[in-house]
């Protein structure tokens, strides 16, 4: 069982990395590029067990530790 956590900056937060990547893509000639947001991706290996319980605990970890709710949003997927 694996969990995947995707963390992205909140839209209201200045994202100079995203802006720099967007500018570079445009400079390279890739057309149709809109705003880019640079975040983080975590892959967490899980011991087998109750998926709902794992999800609940990891969701707690996402809120308390893996993301900072002041500046980031997260998406948690377990498979």
Partner 1 sequence: MNFAVLQFPASNCDQDCLHAVRVIGHSASLVWHKESSLGVADAVIIPGGFSYGDYLRCGAIARFSPVMQAVQQFASQGGLVLGICNGFQILCEAGLLPGALVRNRSLQFRCEQVFLKTLAHDSPFTSRIPANKTLRIPVAHGDGCYFADTATLAALKANNQILWQYCTAQGEVTDDANPNGSLLNIAGVCNPNRNVAGLMPHPDRACESLLGGIDGRTLFESMASALIRKAA
Tell me the C-alpha distance between 18 and 9, whole Å: 10
DSSP-assigned beta bridge partners for residue 33: none
Residues that bind partner 1 (CB under 8 A): 9, 12-14, 16-17, 20, 40, 65-66, 68, 70-71
In whole angstroms, the minimum distance from the beta carbon of 62 to partner 1 comes to: 12
Taking the least distance from each CB to partner 1, the nearer of 11 and 32 is 11
Quick one: 50 or 70, whose CB is closer to partner 1? 70
Complex with partner 1: residue 20 or 51, whichever CB lies closer: 20
Phi-psi domain of 51 (left: phi exceeds 0; alpha: psi -120 through 50; beta: other): alpha
Q: C-beta of 15: minimal distance to partner 1 in Å?
A: 8
CA distance 6 to 56: 16
């Amino acid at each position: 069982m694996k969990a995947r956590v995707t963390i992205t900056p909140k839209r209201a937060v200045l994202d100079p990395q995203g802006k720099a990547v967007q500018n570079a893509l445009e400079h390279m000639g890739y057309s149709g590029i809109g705003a880019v947001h640079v975040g983080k991706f975590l892959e967490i290996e899980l011991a087998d067990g109750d998926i709902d319980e794992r999800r609940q605990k990891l969701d707690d970890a996402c809120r308390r530790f893996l993301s900072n709710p002041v500046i980031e949003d997260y998406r948690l997927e377990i498979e």
